[in-house]
Amino acid sequence: MLDVSVVDLEKIFYIKRQLLPHNIIRMKKRFSLKIFIVLCVIFVLSAVGVVLFNIPFSRINIIDDIYITRSELTQIQEKNFFGPFLSATIKDEIIDAVSMGDNNSEDREIEFKLFHLIPIKVKTVHLIKEDKVLLGGYAVGLVLKTDGVMVVGSSPVDTLEGEYDVLESGELMLGDIITQIENETIENVSTISKVINKEKNRDRELTIHIKRDGRECVTSVKPCYDVKAGNYKLGIWARDDASGIGTLTFVDSNNRFGALGHPILDSDTKSTITLKSGKVYNCSILGVKKGQSGSPGELKGFFAQGKDEQGVVEKNNEYGVFGSLTDNNRLTLDAEEIEVGGRLSVKPGKAQIKCCLDGNRVETFDIEIVKTNYQSYSGDKSMVIRVVDEDLISRTGGIVQGMSGSPIIQNDKIVGAVTHVFVTDPTKGFGVYIDWMLNQ
């Protein structure tokens, strides 16, 4: 049994009374330290959250797999393009245009670091070779020869059994491009009649090679004997060329040009013309049909096919018409050199377009870039534009057919080309980023 005297108890209570304030103070200090640590953690997490919230991930995602100029690479590195918390550095710092050879672009990797320390993303970009081009705005005549013969309609054949429509049978369809019949190349419309009326091909099914929706197919068709004409026919309307006018967008240092900003389509089938060859001609604008709501206008021009040739067409795709001009072409005699601005340069706001409305004279008109689409995919509707120039509106109503390809200039850089007009409002339309076109 524990033997504790009254004196001992008093001593114990005395010691406890002496130590109690110290214990409370010590406990308060520990509690305050814990609160301080918690507050610091909350502050740090909040700060990091604010930083992460303010990082423009949508803008970072735009960078992936895009075409940009060397000046834009510098802009990304030097001008806090992605804000104060995020740095962007080029993994391969050596940027040498000579190393690109004949390619229009070469790949570079951009590494993004948080606080210049923590790697968070790596994106691949394509460095555009051209930093400057000759500015377009000139009207051009374009003639395209198709690679084969395009089916644009049906022409029922009068047979002994009555009319026969080959398109109703489904063996051939609108937009089909006939490239071969019985292994003979079909170069133009007249070739079809010659091949199917050969003695060996009469009154039997013939093997026909076609292109349909970009795919090569083989089908069989039995030509019908036309009792009125006295020969065999396929029963189709076909076309082997297309022509029209448009606007030249740019010419690069190798005399390669881009125009239109969208493909040339067949007027009947609305299919993209499959190109075999093509020519570029000088064109004079003779007049304008004004556009209005529900009825797009057009430029009326003249060019002499086969005369005054200025170059050749080599591509007709979703970004426009592309090819090479001759060294002695007259289209670029008065052309001015201009810097290129990729899609990172384009902002909603004031801009200009250049086009030809009278003869061969290029004029400048004011527009506004209403909206930019930060596309991670290619397309000819990169931006929405609106004509604000009263002179242009009074003369054309806004954007009209034939103005496709008119270069769009913002901050003294070519940033795109006009592509489409809004049917309901001719003062508005679409434009394509110039970097889509430059890579062609």
pLDDT at 408: 97
Q: Is the pLDDT of residue 53 over 50?
A: no
Catalytic residue among 71, 262, 266, 345: 262
Catalytic residue among 404, 406, 420, 435: 404
Of the pLDDT bands very low, low, confident and very high (cuts 50, 70, 90), residue 406 is very high
The strand ranges marked E within 252-360 are 256-259, 275-282, 284-289, 298-302, 309-317, 320-325, 337-340, 349-358
Stretch 129-139: mean pLDDT:
87
Share of the chain above pLDDT 70, in %: 76
Domain membership flag for residue 98: yes
User: Is the distance from CB of 300 to CB of 328 less than 8 angstroms?
Assistant: no
Q: Is 18 helix (H, G, I), strand (E, B) or coil?
A: helix
Shared domain for 271 and 189, answered yes or no, is no
Which residues span the domain enclosing 228?
156-234
Shared domain for 373 and 252, answered yes or no, is yes
Q: Is the pLDDT of residue 59 over 60?
A: no
Catalytic site residue 404? yes
Residue 104, amino acid: N
Shared domain for 392 and 264, answered yes or no, is yes
Q: Is the pLDDT of residue 54 over 70?
A: no
Measure CA of the first residue to CA of the last residue in the chain; give whole Å.
102
User: Is the distance from CB of 281 to CB of 258 less than 8 angstroms?
Assistant: no
Shared domain for 71 and 99, answered yes or no, is yes
Q: Strands 224-226 and 67-68, how do they pair?
A: unpaired
pLDDT at 51: 45
- Given 94, 129, 164, the domain boundary residue is 129
Shared domain for 256 and 282, answered yes or no, is yes
Q: Is the pLDDT of residue 123 over 70?
A: yes
Shared domain for 266 and 358, answered yes or no, is yes
Shared domain for 211 and 308, answered yes or no, is no
User: Is the distance from CB of 409 to CB of 349 less than 8 angstroms?
Assistant: no
Q: Is the pLDDT of residue 96 over 70?
A: no
Average the pLDDT over each of 61-75, 135-149, 405-419 and give the range with the smallest value.
Answer: 61-75
Catalytic residue among 71, 389, 406, 420: 389
Shared domain for 257 and 385, answered yes or no, is yes
- Given 209, 234, 259, the domain boundary residue is 234
For the four alpha carbons of 395, 401, 403 and 409, in that order, the dihedral sign comes to positive
pLDDT single digits (tens) 346-396: 889 999 999 999 988 999 999 999 998 765 555 667 899 999 999 999 999
Residue 352: count of CB within 10 angstroms of its CB: 15
- Given 184, 216, 234, the domain boundary residue is 234
Shared domain for 125 and 270, answered yes or no, is no
Q: Is 308 exposed, middle or buried (0-12, 13-18, 19+ CB in 10 A)?
A: middle
Shared domain for 432 and 295, answered yes or no, is yes
Of the pLDDT bands very low, low, confident and very high (cuts 50, 70, 90), residue 46 is low
Number of domains within the chain: 3
CB proximity list for 102: less than 8 A, separation 6 or greater: none
Q: Is the pLDDT of residue 399 over 90?
A: yes
pLDDT single digits (tens) 328-340: 888 888 889 999 9
* CA distance to 41, 64, 189, 207, 232, per residue, from 204 (Å): 86, 55, 20, 10, 11
Q: Is the pLDDT of residue 60 over 80?
A: no
Mean pLDDT of the chain: 80
Stretch 186-201: mean pLDDT:
88
- Residue 43 phi, psi (nearest 5): -65, -45
The CATH number covering residue 180 comes to 2.30.42.10
